[in-house]
Amino acid sequence: MERLRLAGALLFLSVDGCTRHQASNVAPVLFRGEVTDATGDATTVPGVPRPPDLVQASVVVTDESVVFHVRFAPGTFDSATTAVTIQLDADLNTTTGVPLRGMGVDYTVGLGRFAGNRATLSQASNGEGCPRPAAPCTYAVATRWPVTFHSDGVETAIARSALHGFDGRLNFRVLAYVRPEGAQFSTVTDQLPDFVKGPAPVR
Ligand SMILES: [Ca+2]
Ligand SMILES: [Ca+2]
């Protein structure tokens, strides 16, 4: 038993050492934010046995990049059917961007269904329904970025320079959607943080 415990400790040290070694090769983290959400609180959707259930999201900002990582409860994420939108108030100014629940959303990051095998970075836009000087009410795809899918989630790295008016701090909220076969519209199944809470900070 003691030997097993020791082996476990050595394994832990070795993994930890590896992590530190890797970390020393990448740009230092300047700002970060991480939020968790309850498991089992996804909205029930007819025809969808296991609706997308968000459990964690993190944003890590370095000099060069902004890395987004979104995780789901086991068995509730399918990159072919789950759509993810990350709303960003990138200038921490509620009067710029699309006004939404305590944020002025300047950008959205789209992942999964609708975005395909890339992440889409879309910018708040004055569409036909909201000509200037009204506040923007829609988004236009600006750039696309590599994405990595895991069995329980998805991550992407976006160049920091792609976000204008961004000093490294932001507020964000993650929405997960699913569209049942034959349905006309997607349904939001979970939000992180929940709508009753404020957006998540990256500081
Ligand atoms: Ca959840
Ligand atoms: Ca804003």
Model confidence over 28-57: pLDDT tens digits? 999 999 999 999 999 999 989 999 999 999
**Statement: residue 198 has pLDDT above 90:** yes
What pLDDT shows up at residue 4?
44
Residue range 62-76: average pLDDT? 97
Residue 109: inside a domain: yes
The confidence score (pLDDT) of residue 59 equals 98
The answer to whether residue 67 sits within a structural domain is yes
In a domain, 19, yes or no: no
140 phi/psi in degrees, rounded to 5: -125, 130
Domain coverage including residue 101: 28-202
Would you say residue 10 lies in a domain?
no
- Nearest CA to 173 out of 54, 78, 74, 80 is that of 54
Placement of tokens 């923007």 in the chain? 136
Report if residue 57 sits inside a domain.
yes
Q: What is the pTM of this model?
A: 0.86
Average per-residue pLDDT in the chain? Answer: 89
Nearest to 66 by CA among 162, 173, 139, 150: 162
Task: Quote the pLDDT of residue 14.
Answer: 43
pLDDT at 25: 65
pLDDT at 1: 45
Asked if the structure places residue 137 within a domain, the reply is yes
Domain of 85, CATH number, reads 2.60.40
Query: Is 18's pLDDT higher than 70?
Result: no
Give the count of domains, the chain. Answer: 1
Residue 162 within any structural domain of the chain: yes
Q: How far is the CA of 152 from the centre of ligand 1 (A)?
A: 13
At residue 19, does pLDDT exceed 80? no
Cα 156–Cα 59–Cα 42 angle in degrees, nearest 5: 85
Which ligand is nearest the CA of 98, by number? 2
Interval between CA 37 and ligand 1 midpoint (Å)? 5
Q: Which one of the ligands is nearest to 51 CA? A: 1
Structural tokens at position 105: 């959303």
CB burial of 126-151 (b: ≥16 within 10 Å; e: otherwise) equals: beeeeeeeeebbebeeeebbebebee
Would you place residue 113 in the very low, low, confident or very high pLDDT band (cuts 50, 70, 90)? confident
**pLDDT tens string 130-179:** 999 999 999 999 999 999 999 999 999 999 999 999 999 999 999 999 98
Note the ligand closest to the C-alpha atom of 194: 1
Supply φ then ψ for residue 70, to 5 degrees. Answer: -120, 130
* Proximal ligand: closest to the CA of 170: 2
Give yes or no for residue 20 having a pLDDT over 60.
no
CA of 196 to the centre of ligand 2 (A): 20
Cβ count near 11 (within 10 Å) = 10
Residue written as token pair 């708040």: 124
